[in-house]
Amino acid sequence: MSVDVLERPDTVTEDERVFVMLTVAGQACGVPVATVRDILGEQAITRIPLAPPEIAGSLNLRGRIVTAVDLRRRLNLAPSPDGHKPMSVVAEHGGELYALLVDQVSEVMSLKAEDFEPNPPTLDPVWAIYSTGIYRLEDRLLVVLDVSKVLDLSGEG
């Protein structure tokens, strides 16, 4: 089941960046909308024997096999509460499709490029490894994820 509730803002200027907003372990994150291919609700995931722990398994997206990456495990965070149904943010990396399993996908947001900041020294190192920087929103900190680093499963980010 594909979720089409997220729409790109109609007017985006050169000095704006557009992100798919998601939540992982209570942390607000942004993924550049240009890297997102699909947003999926709960999916049947088939476990892959001998795969690393951050690989939740694989899923079928319109006949294409997609590797599902548990973002909580990838970031060394606590597992999801029992009964939680993750959503999938599908992105392409190295010519392959990957589904990032996240707690929630909320909206598409356009933010001013000038408000983007490098990672502050107080940002948890677990997040800093996979982040390109942050935005300070009214009520929370938005960590911008580097999808290439998150999906580089060959080493340590």
pLDDT for 87-135, tens place per residue? 999 998 888 999 999 999 999 999 999 999 999 999 999 899 999 999 9
Give the separation between CA 13 and CA 18, rounded to whole angstroms.
10
Residue 74 lies in a domain: yes
**So what's the pLDDT on residue 15?**
87
Domain CATH number, residue 129? 2.40.50.180
Is 13 buried (19+), middle (13-18) or exposed (0-12) by CB count in 10 A?
exposed
Position 72 pLDDT exceeds 70:
yes
Residue 62 lies in a domain: yes
Number of domains in the chain: 1
**So what's the pLDDT on residue 4?**
47
Residue 20 lies in a domain: yes
Q: Contact at 8 Å (CB) between 30 and 21?
A: yes
Give the separation between CA 52 and CA 49, rounded to whole angstroms.
9
Residue 83 lies in a domain: yes
Summarize the confidence of residues 74-90 as an average pLDDT: 90
Summarize the confidence of residues 51-62 as an average pLDDT: 94
Is 16 buried (19+), middle (13-18) or exposed (0-12) by CB count in 10 A?
middle
Q: Contact at 8 Å (CB) between 89 and 105?
A: yes
In eight-state DSSP terms, residue 140 is S
Specify the pTM.
0.86
The residue range of the domain holding 43 is 16-151
**So what's the pLDDT on residue 3?**
45
